[in-house]
């Protein structure tokens, strides 16, 4: 591998680099610039229109999962805490492109709350996502092929193993981002039931939400507060949350990075939350630190930095075979997928170029002690 190729690889993937730098080379093509310019121009003329559900998406979407909320108020007794769990998207159903399109739509709603994207504009965004994908601009991600109760199971098993008396109540939803409004409506009703039972028994209520689930729960809590609901949450724990997208998201799709600070400031701690703790990974570019998380932002992939340094040195090995392996290892270390699910399932990866294995505990080391 030529040194110039290695250097380019480092520029794209090096931890600590801005997400804008990561996206820059894909934005420089005339085709992408034209697509983004069209989206930006159209955004300034947005008028109320048909719901986004009417759009013919350019990604395959599977049938929605059934929603069945199971909660018995009597189960609150005998436990010390009630924990509501909210899972993220089903990537197998919506595809990575689907996530990207829906994330852009949500960003516009945050940045322009008085405007609504019409079907034509959303379709243009979908086209832009496809164009970026054709130029290699989509993130190297995975299919989080986990059951709908993956977070509930982890919480129940780990908390019980730590000797904690906790009632875990899953908040089911279709895991399809186009059904977010329906999920939020359900969550408001279900949270009222859970909160009333917890209040009668003098038990605190925690919320643990992963990925898009954190976005749903944030909107739910904000909505309840605006409606004057008495519901309060003692701890709001977000895992791999896209609530404050990195500048990469804004620059890559919206082309209005001057609004990034405004977006960041628009995400404030809901008044019905006592403490907000956010767990994120620098290599999980779907996540970010959230300034409003007053309980702290905890970067879970810091232990991987030592492996990054070793692989970095291997990239410049005089042995061609090692150099090739190191390039693959560098890409693997910085792949979004394993880190986006590491909050629940930890991180496990073997790196042939350095002959080392990374087994990094995340949930038990970083998250469990704070629950």
- The answer to whether residue 309 scores a pLDDT higher than 60 is yes
- The answer to whether residue 178 scores a pLDDT higher than 80 is no
For 359, half-sphere exposure in the C-beta direction (CA atoms, 13 angstrom radius) is 1
Q: What pLDDT sits at residue 170?
A: 96
125, 252 contact by CB (below 8 A): no
Range of weakest confidence among 81-90, 176-185, 215-224, 268-277: 176-185
Here the tokens at position 54 are 């009417």
pTM of the model: 0.80
- The answer to whether residue 259 scores a pLDDT higher than 90 is no
Place of tokens 């994330």: 103
Residue of 365 and 147 predicted with greater confidence: 365
Cβ neighbors of 151 (< 8 A, separation 6 or more) are 85, 86, 87, 170, 208, 210, 213, 344
Separation of alpha carbons 309 and 332, rounded Å: 14
Taking only the tens place, the pLDDT of each residue in 68-97 is 899 999 999 999 999 999 999 876 666 666
CA 344 to chain CA mean position, Å? 13
- The answer to whether residue 117 scores a pLDDT higher than 60 is yes
366, 170 contact by CB (below 8 A): no
Taking domain 68-113+142-370, whether its CATH number is 3.90.25.10 is answered by no
DSSP SS3 for 293: coil
Mean pLDDT for 15-21 is 37
CA-atom Rg of the chain in angstroms: 21
Separation of alpha carbons 276 and 170, rounded Å: 19
- The answer to whether residue 122 scores a pLDDT higher than 70 is yes
- CA proximity to 287, closest of 132, 146, 103, 109: 103
Q: How many residues are present in the chain?
A: 371
Instruction: For residue 280, name the pLDDT band (cuts at 50, 70, 90).
Output: very high
Strand 356-360 versus strand 347-351 pairing type: antiparallel
Taking CA 75 as the corner, what is the angle to CA 72 and CA 78, rounded to the nearest 5 degrees?
Answer: 165
Separation of alpha carbons 349 and 159, rounded Å: 25
Eight-class DSSP state of 257: G
Here the tokens at position 338 are 């394993």
Task: For residue 359, list its beta bridge partners.
Answer: 348
Taking only the tens place, the pLDDT of each residue in 132-162 is 666 555 566 555 667 888 999 999 999 999 9
Q: Domain segments of the chain: what residues?
A: 68-113+142-370
Instruction: For residue 367, name the pLDDT band (cuts at 50, 70, 90).
Output: very high
């Amino acid at each position: 591998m030529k040194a110039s190729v290695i250097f380019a690889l480092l520029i794209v993937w090096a931890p600590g680099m801005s997400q804008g730098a990561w996206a820059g080379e894909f934005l420089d093509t005339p085709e992408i610039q034209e697509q983004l310019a069209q989206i930006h121009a159209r955004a300034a003329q947005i008028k109320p229109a048909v719901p986004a559900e009417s759009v013919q998406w350019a990604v395959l979407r599977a049938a929605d999962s059934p929603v069945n909320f199971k909660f018995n108020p009597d189960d609150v007794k005998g436990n010390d805490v009630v924990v509501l769990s909210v899972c993220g998207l089903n990537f197998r159903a919506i595809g990575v492109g689907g996530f990207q399109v829906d994330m852009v739509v949500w960003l516009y709603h945050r940045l322009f709350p008085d405007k609504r994207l019409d079907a034509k504009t959303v379709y243009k965004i979908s086209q832009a996502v496809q164009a970026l994908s054709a130029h290699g601009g989509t993130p190297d991600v995975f299919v989080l092929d986990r059951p709908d109760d993956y977070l509930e199971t982890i919480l129940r098993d780990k908390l019980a193993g730590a000797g904690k008396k906790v009632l875990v109540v899953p908040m089911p939803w279709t895991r399809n981002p186009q059904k977010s409004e329906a999920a939020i409506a359900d969550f408001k009703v279900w949270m009222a039931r859970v909160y009333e039972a917890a209040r009668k028994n003098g038990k605190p209520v925690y919320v643990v939400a992963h990925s898009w689930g954190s976005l749903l729960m944030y909107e739910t809590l904000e909505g309840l507060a605006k409606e004057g609901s008495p519901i309060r949450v003692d701890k709001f724990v977000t895992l791999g949350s896209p609530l404050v997208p990195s500048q990469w998201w804004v620059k890559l799709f919206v082309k209005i990075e001057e609004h990034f600070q405004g977006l960041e400031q628009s995400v404030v701690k809901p008044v019905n939350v006592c403490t907000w703790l956010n767990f994120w990974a620098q290599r999980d570019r779907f996540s970010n630190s959230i300034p409003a998380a007053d309980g702290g932002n905890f970067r879970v992939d810091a232990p991987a930095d030592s492996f990054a340094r070793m692989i970095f040195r291997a990239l410049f090995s005089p042995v061609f075979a090692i150099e090739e392996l190191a390039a693959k290892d560098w890409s693997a270390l910085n792949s979004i997928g394993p880190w986006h699910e590491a909050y629940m399932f930890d991180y496990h990866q073997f790196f042939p170029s350095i002959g080392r294995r990374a087994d990094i505990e995340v949930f038990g080391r970083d998250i469990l002690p704070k629950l």
